Amino acid sequence: MKLCSPLLLCLAVALSSAFVISSPSMWTKLILTHHWPTTICVMDHCHSNISYWTLHGLWPDKGAMCNSSWHFNSSEIEDLLPDMKKSWPDLLHPLSTTFWKYEWHKHGTCAAKAESLNSQHKYFGKALELYHKLDLDGVLKKFDITPSEKYYTFSQIEGVIENFYGVKPKIQCHSSKHADSQLLGQIEICFDPDFTLLDCDKQGQWDDHMAVDKPSGLNVCDHNIPVHYPPLP
């Protein structure tokens, strides 16, 4: 009996090279995710008195948990910590590094495949740099989108962001059943690997749904339901 046939061998070789070709390790898009603390705390039952948009994460569109042996080490970002606490606070556990550790393991270790992000200092430093450069909170205020008990239309909010940055964001809301409005929760703004702004709905060549956190309770906002941008309770 033959151990293997040339046909099977050829097939195996063809399959393995196809696998390599169809699963490149490199991501093609970065998603800078901001969230609105009041809405997150409605969903997760926390208490926050922060009334500006904070960072949720910087996510490559491809890959998750890329290197489990690359441990988060806050001493490597010692100089960034004051800004991290202000701009990227853990809303659920305000005094711990749990959130940053999670973001590093899940997304940072994959982002680190690019030389520009291949250390914890580069990764967290770049996220903070992009966050300050965009100044989403300032832009919304400047165009009169402020936390309010009155509702906005979805296109008022989307329009301000699109006009100012010249790219399409992805905007997510929290809605409870039977409500006549939805709560503004999360705003994603996207970049290419050179950190140039990019439309978020532009499909990455290798879009990977595992790579992107879909927080339970948040969905892309419904264009036809009024949007509540809630002030501090």
Ligand X SMILES: *[C@@H]1O[C@H](CO)[C@@H](O)[C@H](O)[C@H]1NC(C)=O
- The binding site for ligand X (CB under 6 A) comprises 49, 67, 69-70, 73, 75-76
Shortest Cβ distance from residue 152 to ligand X (Å)?
Answer: 25
Amino acid at 16: S
Shortest Cβ distance from residue 109 to ligand X (Å)?
Answer: 7
| 49 versus 216: smaller Cβ distance to ligand X | 49
Q: 68 by DSSP, 3-state: which?
A: coil
Q: What are the percentages of helix, strand and coil residues in the chain, rounded to 5?
A: 40, 15, 45
Shortest Cβ distance from residue 119 to ligand X (Å)?
Answer: 9
| 47 versus 177: smaller Cβ distance to ligand X | 47
Strand 54-60 relative to strand 219-220: parallel, antiparallel, unpaired?
unpaired
| Contact in structure between 200 and 191 (CB atoms under 8 Å) | no
| 79 versus 222: smaller Cβ distance to ligand X | 79
| 46 versus 130: smaller Cβ distance to ligand X | 46
Closest alpha carbon to 26 in 103, 92, 116: 116
Shortest Cβ distance from residue 195 to ligand X (Å)?
Answer: 22
Residues marked active site are found at 56, 103, 107
Count CB neighbours of 103 within 10 A.
24
- Whose tokens are 């992107």? That residue is 212
